[in-house]
Each structure stands twice: as structure tokens, then as C-alpha cells.
Amino acid sequence: MFEWHDLYDLAPTADIAQIPGRSGSNSRNDDVLLQDVAIAYGYNNVGLSVPATVTVGKELPLNQLVELLRVECAMCGFTEILTWALCSRSENFEYLRRQDDGNTAVSIGNPATAEFEVCRTSLLQGMPPALAILLLKLCT
């Protein structure tokens, strides 16, 4: 992947008069522009350089522990409940026996479906539908 500093390094030596533009939804994307410059100049003509900042990345110990716990819980038969960021107003308030004052949750102006009309205010909104599905599976 090319970075902007690669483009600046090419500028004094490159004789690029016009870069052919692309039409479409990603015509203003920086990566597409850099890719066009690299194609016009030639990938093999771009010199390799060491970045000014060097970092070493590794997984955080907390993330490693959470992943190990997630695997162990799945092996014990538990299901992870993934919740949507949007939910219905009834899931957000009525199902959890909370009062809707009109200011707690952000309402979507024109929701696509009735299931996604407000932003959830806690993580509990995903539990009633997941428990209902789990109970249906256990009863059948």
C-alpha cells in the first residue's frame, strides 16, 4: 500500500503531466489516486524506504484472555449474544420495563423497518429475542 510520503518522494523526479481519472463511486479515494500514480510511474520504479516511525504490534493481554474465555464458554455450550446498535422502541423500553421519556434513546428519522427505529441504550436489548429463540429450540 502506498502512502502519501511515497507520492511526495516521486514528485521531484517524476514527469507526470496528467493522471487519467476514474469515474465511479471511489474516484476521490486517496488509495485509488495513489494506485493510479504508481501505475503511471511504474511499481518497480518506486524505491523502498524505511518509515520514520517504527512500531511493533502485538495482541493485548486482555484481548488474549477474552478470546480464551470466549472459546471455553462456547465449548461449554453457551451462546454469545451479539446485539445490533439499533433496536425497536419496544425492545429498548417496554421489554425491559423502562420508562420512555423521549430523550433517552436517539430516534431514527425514517427507519427502514420497525425493528431498527432507535439506538439501543444498553446491552440488554439483545437478550430477550435471543432467549426466545433459545427457548424455542429447547422446547422443540
Same domain, 78 and 35: no
Closest by alpha carbon to 116, among 108, 127, 124? 108
Does any domain span residue 127?
A: yes
Judge whether 50 and 40 are in contact, CB under 8 Å. Answer: no
Judge whether 92 and 105 are in contact, CB under 8 Å. Answer: yes
Closest by alpha carbon to 32, among 20, 16, 48? 20
The span from the first CA to the last CA of the chain, in angstroms, equals 52
Q: Strands 86-87 and 118-119: what pairing? A: antiparallel
Quote the pLDDT of residue 19.
46
Quote the pLDDT of residue 68.
93
Closest by alpha carbon to 40, among 6, 5, 15, 8? 15
Does any domain span residue 53?
A: no
- Side-chain-side CA neighbours of 21 within 13 Å: the count stands at 5
User: In angstroms, rounded to a whole number, what is the distance separating the alpha carbons of residues 14 and 131?
Assistant: 63
pTM strictly above 0.85:
no
Q: What range does the domain containing 12 cover?
A: 4-45
Does any domain span residue 56?
A: no
pLDDT, tens digit only, all 140 positions of the chain: 545 455 555 555 555 444 455 555 545 566 677 788 778 888 888 788 888 888 888 888 999 998 999 899 889 887 777 667 888 888 888 888 899 888 888 998 888 888 889 988 888 877 777 788 888 888 87
Provide the CATH number for the domain around residue 81: 3.30.930.10
Q: How many domains does the chain have?
A: 2
Same domain, 85 and 125: yes
Does any domain span residue 55?
A: no
What does the pLDDT look like over 60-101, one tens digit per residue?
A: 899 999 899 989 988 988 777 766 788 888 888 888 889 988
